[in-house]
Structure 1
């Protein structure tokens, strides 16, 4: 009776260790090597081990996966600047407005997470907050089209502000 319980505990320990190593060492891909979902799935699979309950208590999941680092302002700003070459043609306008909106919020998150602190970026953060207030909760294509001048205006004003702060994007 004890042998199947010990075997189940050993399988669980190996599974948990492998999941922790996968999460901490990464396996490539677009997520920078952070795979907390895979680790959670492995832990969930080991928790439903058919060998029966263990009297050893909860197992130690191992070291926690490192949290992803916040995006750098320069990278988020570069992605926003990449939208400058596109125009709002009928075939492209919905995509472009959505992309500019998303990139503005990427910049906002990066500025708020920057080691210099959000106080270093008061104007861009305020511009995005003003845009959000104008858009309200509706981020759909029709509302973005109605507020197209504000969306592109926020992008352009942030670009101008950043040009005056080259140390923040180089």
Structure 2
């Protein structure tokens, strides 16, 4: 009986893979207690290989993503989820407060970028984008803890206003 070429190729790949998995326990002893080179183990690996589709190489003219390709814009729902994750946090200690205020600032910036890149267009999110722009103007380029602490009320207020606005627009984040 002649075995088709794709089946032979799959068996040649599956058998070493099965051996590798069987020998990958911490002490080098197969976890199943079965000798992977024994008839049952090898037969099972060959049977599994015959069920797997053959792997084909990509055509030569296929284009791979370039190393410098920019990722797709973040979705508003994902950025909003990051902002919502700050709702139960606050300033309890100075170190924790520095982290919290920096995170709220970063999450607002992420949300701003996601809203501006959304397929619905930035005009779909006029209030949140305007609130973040106002906050950005107030904070300026100084993202130090001292400056964020001085603008803590504006940071938290903007976050809370946007949270309320988004709750009234559930189609924009679900």
TM-score range, shorter chain: 0.5 to 0.7
1:153-164 superposed matches below 5 A? 153-164=157-168
1:131-170 superposed matches below 5 A? 131-170=135-174
CA offsets, 1:94-140, max 9 Å, x none? 00000000000000000000000000000000000010111122111
Take 2:172 and 2:77, find their aligned partners in 1: how far apart are those partners?
6
Partner of 1:81: 84
- RMSD across aligned positions (CA): 1.6
Take 2:153 and 2:173, find their aligned partners in 1: how far apart are those partners?
25
TM-score of the two chains, using structure 2 as the length reference: 0.61
Q: Report the 3-state secondary structure (helix = DSSP H, G, I; strand = E; otherwise coil) of the residue aligned with 1:92.
A: helix
Take 1:99 and 1:139, find their aligned partners in 2: how far apart are those partners?
11
Gaps of 5+ in 1: 1-16, 25-33, 37-64
Take 2:67 and 2:172, find their aligned partners in 1: how far apart are those partners?
30
1:58-97 superposed matches below 5 A? 65=69, 67-90=70-93, 91-97=95-101
Greater CA radius of gyration, 1 or 2? Answer: 2
Take 2:152 and 2:166, find their aligned partners in 1: how far apart are those partners?
21
Take 1:89 and 1:35, find their aligned partners in 2: how far apart are those partners?
42
Partner of 1:121: 125
Q: Size of the alignment, in residue pairs?
A: 112
Partner of 2:109: 105
Moved over 6 A (4+): none
- Post-superposition offset of 1:35: 3.7
Gaps of 5+ in 2: 1-59
CA offsets, 1:24-55, max 9 Å, x none? 2xxxxxxxxx743xxxxxxxxxxxxxxxxxxx
1:1-16 superposed matches below 5 A? none
